[in-house]
């Protein structure tokens, strides 16, 4: 349930509510908005709900106590009305600016890392991407250089000032990836690896959570909920395409997910047209589409010589291709950000179309 404090509630009253939450054996999660504080009480409340609601409603400084209807709570706009803004080094994500993450699919060598970082930085990228630990469908494919690649990424950050996002595949890698990276990426295949989500929930750096290729939006938000409820509120969602019956593209980019998520959650949303399409020539039009529907950012794969790439060469942009993409999306984003924002939708308009299990 959410305990909405009155706009005039004192720090003492807020602490009083939090103490009672703790005394009832639960953890209070606090959201400090520009006008008021909301305290979420999450956990197994069950048949105790009416008693607890009555108890909290009587406390001084409490304005309303409302049950939480959606399965995701800390990730929802009901809990945290304002957009979450994430700062990593010189980059800011979710503040209305356009975040552009670019770099090779995998960090194949020091040269590829540095050369690509310099080229994408010069063209306006704000974050460097690159895989060190690579989840590959085939055990015989290149699996990434691991810690060696993390060192090259850190060197590329030194050279360009770009913060680094890279994937962590298992809980045992969290410590080392956290040491080198600025943002920890959870890949599509790991979106429901709950021990990994809990592990990245315990680190202080932001997490980019890619959508599982077979996951609903609700399941995706439940995975974000694992990270936030473990203590890390800085989650970026990345739409990277879902599996459908279509075979011309690697995946199908779910464009409606972007505006939907902006209504359902306060977390920033970026799109990845490289993995969504699997084809370099489709990356620019889909990046344009993502920016046009209000994505907070775009992630794309870029390689100095895509034909030589050890992974995902077919979907990687050349440096020229990346410059051409930037020439399209930067002015488009300027125009889009001048449009007035639509008001948030009422609950009924956001009803779930199907059923899902938790």
Q: Is 303 in the site for ligand PEP (CB under 6 A)?
A: no
Applying CB under 6 A, among 31, 188, 229, 234 the residue interacting with ligand PEP is 188
| Contact set for ligand PEP, span 1-60 (CB under 6 A) | none
User: What does DSSP assign to residue 104?
Assistant: -
In whole angstroms, the minimum distance from the beta carbon of 222 to ligand PEP comes to 18
Q: Which is nearer to ligand PEP, 87 or 243 (CB)?
A: 243
Question: For strand 235-239 and strand 207-210, is the pairing parallel, antiparallel, or unpaired?
Answer: parallel
Cβ atoms < 10 Å from Cβ of 51: 11
Distance CA 255, CA 248 (A): 17
Are 21 and 45 in contact by the 8 Å Cβ rule? The answer is: no
In whole angstroms, the minimum distance from the beta carbon of 278 to ligand PEP comes to 10
Are 317 and 304 in contact by the 8 Å Cβ rule? The answer is: no
Q: Which is nearer to ligand PEP, 135 or 259 (CB)?
A: 135
Q: Which is nearer to Mn ion, 38 or 282 (CB)?
A: 282
Distance CA 354, CA 197 (A): 25
Applying CB under 6 A, among 18, 80, 210, 250 the residue interacting with ligand PEP is 210
Are 94 and 82 in contact by the 8 Å Cβ rule? The answer is: no
Q: Which is nearer to ligand PEP, 139 or 340 (CB)?
A: 139
Contact map string, positions 294 to 323, toward Mn ion, x by CB under 5 A: ------------------x-----------
Q: Is 283 in the site for Mn ion (CB under 5 A)?
A: no
Element (H, E) at 209: strand 207-210
Which partner in ligand PEP, Mn ion, none is near 77 (CB below 5 to 8 A by kind)? none
Which partner in Mn ion, ligand PEP, none is near 270 (CB below 5 to 8 A by kind)? none
Backbone angles phi, psi at 184, to 5 degrees: -95, 125
Distance CA 77, CA 2 (A): 12
Element (H, E) at 305: none
Cβ atoms < 10 Å from Cβ of 75: 29
In whole angstroms, the minimum distance from the beta carbon of 109 to ligand PEP comes to 17
Q: Which is nearer to ligand PEP, 38 or 253 (CB)?
A: 253
Q: Tokens 């950000």 appear where?
A: 337
Q: Is 167 in the site for ligand PEP (CB under 6 A)?
A: yes
Number of H helices, E strands in the chain: 11, 14
In whole angstroms, the minimum distance from the beta carbon of 275 to ligand PEP comes to 4
Q: Is 240 in the site for ligand PEP (CB under 6 A)?
A: yes
Report helix, strand or coil for 175. Answer: helix
Q: Which is nearer to ligand PEP, 205 or 250 (CB)?
A: 250
Q: Is 108 in the site for ligand PEP (CB under 6 A)?
A: no
| Contact set for Mn ion, span 77-116 (CB under 5 A) | 105
Helix intervals (H) in the chain: 11-23, 49-57, 110-122, 147-160, 174-180, 194-200, 217-229, 257-264, 273-277, 280-292, 319-338
Contact map string, positions 53 to 72, toward ligand PEP, x by CB under 6 A: --------------------
Q: Is 187 in the site for ligand PEP (CB under 6 A)?
A: yes
Binding residues for ligand PEP, rule: CB under 6 A, are 105, 131, 135, 167, 187-188, 210, 240, 275
Binding residues for Mn ion, rule: CB under 5 A, are 105, 312
């Amino acid at each position: 349930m959410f305990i909405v404090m009155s706009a005039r509630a004192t720090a003492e009253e807020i602490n009083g509510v939090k103490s009672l939450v703790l005394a009832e054996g639960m953890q209070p999660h606090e959201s400090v908005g520009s006008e008021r504080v909301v305290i979420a009480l999450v956990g197994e409340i069950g048949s105790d709900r009416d008693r607890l609601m009555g108890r909290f409603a009587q406390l001084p400084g409490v304005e309303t106590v409302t049950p939480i209807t959606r399965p995701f709570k800390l990730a929802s706009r009901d809990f945290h009305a304002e957009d979450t803004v994430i700062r990593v080094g010189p980059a800011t994500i979710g503040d209305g600016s356009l975040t552009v993450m670019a770099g090779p699919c995998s960090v194949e060598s020091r040269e590829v890392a540095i050369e690509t970082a310099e080229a994408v930085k010069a063209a306006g990228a704000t974050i460097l991407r690159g895989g060190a630990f690579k989840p590959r469908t085939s055990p015989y494919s290149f699996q990434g250089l691991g810690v060696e690649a993390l060192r090259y990424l850190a060197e590329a950050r030194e050279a360009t000032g770009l913060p680094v996002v890279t994937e962590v595949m298992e809980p045992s890698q969290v410590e080392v990836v956290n040491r080198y990276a600025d943002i920890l990426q959870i890949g599509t295949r790991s979106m429901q690896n709950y021990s990994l989500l809990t592990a990245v929930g315990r680190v202080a750096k932001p997490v980019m959570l890619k959508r599982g290729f077979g996951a609903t939006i609700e399941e995706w938000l439940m995975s974000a909920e694992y990270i936030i409820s473990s203590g890390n509120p800085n989650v970026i969602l990345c739409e990277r395409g879902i599996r459908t019956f279509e075979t011309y593209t690697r995946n199908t980019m779910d464009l409606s997910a972007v505006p939907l998520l902006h209504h359902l959650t306060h977390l920033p949303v970026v799109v990845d047209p490289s993995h969504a399409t699997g084809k370099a020539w489709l990356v620019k039009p889909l990046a344009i589409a993502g920016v046009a529907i209000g994505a907070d950012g775009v992630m794309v794969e870029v390689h100095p010589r895509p034909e030589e790439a050890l992974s995902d060469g077919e979907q990687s942009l050349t440096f020229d291709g990346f410059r051409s993409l930037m020439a399209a999306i930067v002015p488009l984003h300027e125009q889009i950000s001048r449009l007035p924002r639509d008001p948030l939708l009422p609950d009924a308009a956001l009803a779930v179309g199907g059923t899902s299990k938790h």
